[in-house]
Amino acid sequence: MPSGLCCITFEPSDIVMLVSSTSCINDVCINSCISLLFAVLRVPEKHQYALFSTFNLPCANYSDDDHL
């Protein structure tokens, strides 16, 4: 695993969300899956990547600054 990545742990409730085709995943699932993806792809540390998701769009849409 590249340095800078911690151990990736999924709680049972996270796994239930991930295997469901109708469940909305939470921020923990999103961030853990991103870490797992980067570890599996062996992304070189010298490269910088950005991953954008729509997770915070509802908060931004309603100007909920406390959640951004």
pLDDT value for 63: 59
pLDDT per position as a tens digit, 10-33: 899 999 999 999 988 888 888 888
pLDDT value for 1: 46
* Domain definitions of the chain by residue range: 12-67
**CA pair distance 45, 63, nearest whole angstrom:** 35
Query: Which one, of 22, 38, 59, lies nearest residue 30 by Cα?
Result: 38
Query: Which one, of 65, 62, 64, 54, lies nearest residue 27 by Cα?
Result: 54
